[in-house]
Structure 1
């Protein structure tokens, strides 16, 4: 499943680089170079190479640094309900770490009734994150602090990490 998600992610990244390439090349061959400068096509191609390298380097670095957080968690307040932190991106927004989850009534022993996602704000090297649960009707900017084997929230609830998934990269749109 993770490999399939990574293939989709790589395809989307390749599409983004191809679209960026098309824009640079169109500018290089359609627009004349600035007056007094004759290297318009060469500059456009060098710009394209730099942009592609920056895009792939930034995404790869952020993905690597988010590894401690990524994986599956158990939430004692919502028994057997899915809680997974993944690193996602789409073509319209900056790459983002997300919580992908579901809720039942009261837990998910029989079935997941509602699925949801929540954006995560984090900085590399820090032992805390902020999760925005407002999309599912919860509070915004809930701080979760890493403690030994999971994430502890201000209300005392602890999501225990049950499976690490350092390959969890997905596409949201």
Structure 2
């Protein structure tokens, strides 16, 4: 029954994703350049989040990640302003699902440009308030534990990725 409702919702999700994408493109080309300061960063984060939400609304949830809704979404990283941080699940060539962080880095932020894109594998257990991220593919440490803290993920160095947009994982959690 859940699969039938997901099949029926795919065209709706695709239509919503297309509408959000059109809104983003219209906004990106029609709005004047943002002023500098906190207001500019907030508007840019919203636009980046809107674009990302449009791209992932039509994604199918992985049954293996039922209950992972609090983690899935877009985050703001204060140590890398405006750089993408998105926790998603991805499928490999064998249709095996894996939770991942899709990210990018600039110098040090991405206000002007994302200089490099990367992915990091995430380990998570159902019901846990912790995840473990392997940043070694981007030159960072492996086994970094992040703990859920009200509205984001806190890391051992004190950095906190604040969740800015959630998305529906198909199990009633998310938006």
Q: Which residue of 2 aligns with 1:145?
A: 147
5+ unaligned residues in a row in structure 1: which ranges? 11-58, 169-173
CA RMSD of aligned residues (A): 1.8
Q: Which residue of 1 aligns with 2:130?
A: 128
| Larger of the two Rg values belongs to structure | 1
Q: Which residue of 2 aligns with 1:104?
A: 106
Higher relative contact order (CA 8 A, sep 6+): 1
Task: Give the Cα–Cα distance (whole angstroms) in 2 for the partners of residues 71 and 3 of structure 1.
Answer: 11
Task: Give the Cα–Cα distance (whole angstroms) in 2 for the partners of residues 121 and 67 of structure 1.
Answer: 14
5+ unaligned residues in a row in structure 2: which ranges? 1-54, 171-175
Task: Give the Cα–Cα distance (whole angstroms) in 1 for the partners of residues 135 and 95 of structure 2.
Answer: 19
Q: Is the 8 A contact 2:81 2:109 kept in 1?
A: yes
Q: Secondary structure at the match of 2:118?
A: strand
Q: Which residue of 2 aligns with 1:118?
A: 120
Q: Which residue of 1 aligns with 2:73?
A: 71
TM-score (norm 1): 0.63
- Report runs of 4+ in structure 1 exceeding 3 Å deviation: none
Task: Give the Cα–Cα distance (whole angstroms) in 1 for the partners of residues 117 and 104 of structure 2.
Answer: 4
Q: Which residue of 1 aligns with 2:56?
A: 2
Deviations 1:17-68 (A, max 9, x none): xxxxxxxxxxxxxxxxxxxxxxxxxxxxxxxxxxxxxxxxxx42x2322111
Following TM superposition, by how much is the alpha carbon of 1:128 offset from its aligned partner in structure 2, in angstroms? 0.2
TM-score (norm 2): 0.62
**How many residue pairs end up in the alignment?**
116
